[in-house]
Amino acid sequence: MPKRKRQISSAKRTALRQSERQETTKRENNLEKQTTETQQFFLLKSEPESRLEKGVDVRFSIQDLQNEPDQSATWDGVRNYQARNILKSMRKDDLAFFYHSNCKEPGIVGIVRIIKEAFPDPTQFEPKSPYYDPKSSKDNPTWYAVQVKLEEVWERKVTLQELKKYDDLSDMDLFKRSRLSVQKILEHQWKFILDLLQKNKQL
DNA sequence: GCCAACGTTGGC
DNA sequence: GCCAACGTTGGC
């Protein structure tokens, strides 16, 4: 093992200690996630094809997310109370399927990670936004958003048509509450869909 | 582009 | 608080 240099500035030492501390905190957080929390799973719908709403293109495909700085985006524009409540239940490091809706071939195209928990959706206060809500106030915001980061872009889309075929998935909100744009996914459904993806890859 | 399903609004 | 009318979502 090489000897450490004796001459190390106190600033460097402080920085080192700090980065060690950060690493330790990171590990502890991960451990805590594994042992005391249960990871949750969700499905987020987004429209991959251009469509104007109040003169603004509301398209947001997984490729659009891929092109964002840091491959991260604010999941805003949710204007349904049930969907909002599900958004609020999301915790950091939960995962969500990225679903392409209102398009030729609807289906799941990848996975995103929740990197910031619910905060007031800024678009509700922007008059120019298609998601503007004049009834909402900054003191008591009606709508919330989360921050997501791209985790996986699948080479193959798992289509709605395919998802419909399996009894294991028949309870999914995708079929039962087809209009809900933010949905909870049960663990067995999550795993089943990942298995499906694997099988498809082998075909 | 049609329209079924379903969420929201508002009169009573 | 009911429910008809209306608006929106999203598959097809």
Q: CATH number, domain at A68?
A: 3.10.590.10
| Closest C1' nucleotide to A181's CA | C9
CA distance A1 to A27: 25
Residue A34 CA distance to nucleotide C9 C1' (Å): 37
A135 CA to B11 C1', in Å? 21
Q: What is the pLDDT of residues A174-198, one digit of tens each?
A: 999 999 999 999 999 999 999 999 8
Cβ-7 Å neighbors of strand B: A 80-82, 176-180
Residue A137 lies in a domain: yes
Distance, angstroms, CA A56 to C1' C2? 37
Q: Look up the protein residue whose alpha carbon has the minimum distance to the C1' of B8.
A: A80
State residue A27's pLDDT score.
41
Q: What Å value separates CA A79 and C1' C7? A: 13
User: If you search the block for the tokens 């999301």, which residue do you land on?
Assistant: A90
In DSSP terms, A119 is beta-bridged to: A145
Question: Does A32 fall in a domain?
Answer: no
User: Tell me, what amino acid is at A175?
Assistant: F
- Please report whether residue A177 resides in a domain: yes
Residue A71's contacts (CB-CB under 8 Å, 6 or more residues apart) are A65, A149, A150
A181 contact to strand C (CB, 7 A limit): yes
Q: Among all strands, which nt has the closest C1' to A82 (CA)?
A: B7
Q: Does residue A28 lie in a domain region?
A: no
| Strand pairing class (A72-75; A107-120) | unpaired
The answer to whether residue A6 is domain-embedded is no
**How many domains is chain A built from?**
1
Residue A7 counted as domain residue: no
Predicted pLDDT at A199: 82
For residue A176, give the nucleotide whose C1' atom is nearest its CA: B5
Structural domain contains residue A24: no
* Per-residue confidence (pLDDT) for residue A195, from 0 to 100: 96
Show the domain range for A128.
39-202
- Quote the CA–CA distance of A174 and A140 in Å, as a whole number: 31
**Which pLDDT value is given to residue A29?**
52
Provide the positions of strand B that have an atom within 7 A of a protein CB. Answer: 5-8
> Do residues A176 and A184 make contact, with C-beta atoms less than 8 angstroms apart?
no
Per-residue model confidence (pLDDT) at position A13:
45
Question: Which residues of chain A carry a pLDDT beneath 50?
Answer: 1-8, 12-14, 24, 27, 31, 35
Please give the pLDDT value at position A200: 64
Any atom of strand C under 7 A from CB of A56? no
Give the pLDDT of residue A138: 94
